[in-house]
Amino acid sequence: MPNYRRILAAIDLSDEADAVLERAAGMAALHDADLHLLHVVEPLSLAYGGDIPMDFSEVQQQLQQQAESALGKFAQRLNIPKNQCHLLTGRPDAQIHELCESLDADLIIVGSHGRKGLALLLGSTANGVLHGAECDVLAVRVGRED
């Protein structure tokens, strides 16, 4: 089993992020690895395809501030230093790959809903991360009802 040195946990800041963080913290402790947290805020222009002729800059700024606050709370709970917390803007899979490369991370941990059918064909962040990563990827199943 490889000894991971630097782990990147990409979270969506929902309640489901707890499962991803729990697994990431466990893996980091097991391997005595540095744990980095990442959240990517998607630009509203991507979500709406530029079809709505409105200025979303104020709303986008509010989203950034809310994400920064939430990411800080997750990091504080796990005692992760600020310099190991990353808040980026863009397409999540692309930003995860870029940060992974710049950190020289050897494991990415993401949440996966295990979608099937049309959602699987259209892809997901976890799927995009898996297929573009140059390191190991651990997809933590989230959103299951036991």
> Token pair of 17, please?
């992020």
Look at residue 113 and tell me if it is in a domain.
yes
Domain of 42: which CATH number?
Answer: 3.40.50.620
Cβ within 8 Å of residue 31, ≥6 positions away: 3, 4, 5, 7
Which residue range is the domain that position 14 belongs to?
A: 6-141
Q: For residue 142, is it left (φ>0), alpha (ψ between -120 and 50) or beta?
A: beta
Residue 65: band (very low, low, confident or very high) from pLDDT cuts 50, 70, 90: very high
The residue type found at 31 is H
Look at residue 83 and tell me if it is in a domain.
yes
Region 83-97 average pLDDT:
93
Sheet holding 107-112, edge to edge: 85-89, 34-41, 6-10, 107-112, 136-141
Region 4-13 average pLDDT:
94
Question: Could you give the percent of the chain with pLDDT greater than 70?
Answer: 82
Look at residue 26 and tell me if it is in a domain.
yes
Number of separate domains in the chain: 1
Give the number of C-alpha atoms closer than 13 A to the C-alpha of residue 110, restricted to the C-beta side: 24
Look at residue 66 and tell me if it is in a domain.
yes
Look at residue 75 and tell me if it is in a domain.
yes
Look at residue 132 and tell me if it is in a domain.
yes
Look at residue 146 and tell me if it is in a domain.
no
pLDDT score of 40 more than 50: yes
pLDDT score of 79 more than 50: yes
Residue 132: band (very low, low, confident or very high) from pLDDT cuts 50, 70, 90: confident
pLDDT score of 47 more than 90: no
Buried/exposed 99-128: b ≥16 CB within 10 Å, e otherwise: bbeebebbbbbbbbeeeeeeeeeeebbbbb
Look at residue 99 and tell me if it is in a domain.
yes
